Amino acid sequence: MTKHNKLVRDHIPNLLRDSGKNIRTRTLDHKEYDDSLKHKLRDEVEEYFNTAENKDSLTKLADLLEVIHALSYTHGATIEELEHIRQHRRKERGAFHTRTMLLDIEDE
């Protein structure tokens, strides 16, 4: 039996069972869930960086967004609330459209 001990999407256990696999799962408590989501976020970011194809990159970004949405819920916020915060920060600080690299700031 191959050990995985990782958080998976909701439909993965049934998809594995439907393909004839014998699996074991358990439900995480709130702290384990939060910790697992943070590890999942790191894993998904790494997978994004290791993706070369544009289509695959978009799929990885969608995976990242799914983890971010789940993390938002663990912090007691809806996706809409998170989006409101994002828009507020964008209005105050801007986005990244101008591709500006800050090179240095002169010390006083």
- Listing DSSP states for the chain in one string gives ---------TTHHHHHHHTT---------HHHHHHHHHHHHHHHHHHHHT--SHHHHHHHHHHHHHHHHHHHHHTT--HHHHHHHHHHHHHHH--STT----------
pLDDT in the model for residue 52 = 86
91 pLDDT above the threshold of 90: yes
- Tens digit of pLDDT for each residue in 26-55? 999 999 999 999 999 999 999 999 998 888
Mean pLDDT of 8-28: 98
Percent of the chain whose pLDDT exceeds 90: 94
1 pLDDT above the threshold of 90: no
Domain borders along the chain are: 28-93
Q: Taking the model in full, what pTM does it have?
A: 0.87
